[in-house]
Structure 1
Amino acid sequence: MKIEYWLIIGAILAIALTIPPSQAKEVIVEIPYGVSNPSFDPQIEGRAEAWFVPPEVKIMVYDTVTWVNKDITKHDITSGIGVSRFEGVQGVRGEPDGKFTSGIIEKGGSWSYTFTEPGVYPYFCAIHPWMVGAVIVELPDYPHDAEGNPIEFPIITRTPDGLYTPEIRWDPPIIKVGEPVVFTNAFYDINNINRVEYLKYDFVLILNGEEIYRVSTHSGGGAENFKLVINEPGILKIRFENIDGKEGNDVEFSTRVYGEPNLDVPERVETLVGSSKADPETIFTLVNIGYLALGGSLAALVVYYKKRWKAKH
């Protein structure tokens, strides 16, 4: 019976480990038709509302944004600060920050990026740098392991010697720097029915590869609580080591510790994102001034060679 029981438990755990993160989502951002033209105006009937639709998206850590190119030309997604229309038509390029870049997205193509850190991510098209957008990445609102996979409390596992069933939970489920967190654990027998008393073990926390807490204790037949404050962000491993006094009889769980993210969109980014909705007269004026400035030298050359031709003839 014990062998059959653990075969069932093993099958359940194997299935659980192969399930993809159910909480993570995909958000689609379209690159609409006609946006490569710097005189693009969303206020004209039938036009898209912005260079990227939607121009700003709010997601959570581990969510994915997919950009879909519905324009008739190539585009690109580059993290950093873009430029205004006027700067763009004069040849001013954007300022990449090196966080991500798509490379060329062909007509009808797409590109996806999964965000693993909270914060504000402005971006632009490196080919048409007046095309700007922003992604705002918030903290996840569900408990998860260090790789972003959702978890349900209590988390239950089995000791390597096959004799005990440890379980753990923590509160709050999202651990933040400087805020108290309570780890609650218990040990059950092989059938996960009866709690085990006087079981020796070490409770250990490892943050970013460095041990930050260790205590040697034993189970009391009930739940044990460890209240701590963690002062740095990063990958946190929660370990029960030397269970039942046996070296190497260890189990491990993981999660992440987050700092408080700054989710304020910089004023220049807000201005650039909203600049696709400038009034039509301003759009026309800026674009044509830019083209005139860019083409001024060409016009001067035409006049120069025309005079030379007349002088010779």
Structure 2
Amino acid sequence: MKTIAICSFFVLFAMVAGLVATTPAAYADHSEVTIVPASGSGAPGCEETADGCYIPSTATVDVGGVVIMSNTDTAAHTFTSGTPDDGPDGVFDTSLLMAGSSFEWTPTTVGEQPYFCMVHPWMQGLIIVQEAGAEEADDHGDEMMMPSGDATATGMLSDGTMVSIWASTPTAGEVMEISIAFDGAEHVNHDISVTQNGNEVLNDEGAHHHDGTGMHTTAPLSSSDPVDITVTFQGYGIDDPKTGPIGEEVVFTNVVPEFGTIAMMILAVAIISIVAVTAKSRVIPRF
């Protein structure tokens, strides 16, 4: 009886430990975010400050949430999706928003959405759209958190910048999430291409990550086979000319995440359960 009781205790302990170990540290609610222009941003200079020309300069919102664009400045501004270089992309446009006026936008897809002021093109901002309840890096809610634990794969640019990726498990019929980090870098521009068995499942060109980190999502995969990921570096900076080893590629082949914590806990519970059942059936002697 003592052996059975002890084994049962370990089974319970392993299950509880598994739940604790795999519970995310913090989930932030970003169902609504308000963005305002910096005071006096109608004149150049705000782009050189830490806060930027839109506050927050990088805003995070959930899919289906609300982005409130409120003009608290004395000058009229626009909040126009796109970039000054490429122009409006048609996702949203407040038109000329007079002082004291506001505009609301509800995003429907995960991703990064740059925007700018058509009247004052030095004013640029970024909206990060995430799944509801996504884990965050800090209490400010304006930066994405990279997954914890070792990276799925790492590479390096010729200037010494480490490039790391964290990938979810490839599963047939489901999208694959790929987080990327350029260690110690800011305002990183890159392309990313993902293929599975020769078929392209993601081709994201012109991605820009203010803090050097970001997330990309593939189309639903056709199988659970590994994927190949190619990251093409397109320079550091917001405006041209950009710097760094532009055009360099970092290639990750046969990407499959490592055996994770959940699987380890399930295996541990299974092994302990087998020991408990074996002890009960007296296949191994009692002590």
Normalised to the residue count of structure 2, the TM-score between the two structures is 0.39
Rg comparison, structure with higher value: 1
Normalized per residue, the structure richer in helix is: 1
Normalised to the residue count of structure 1, the TM-score between the two structures is 0.36
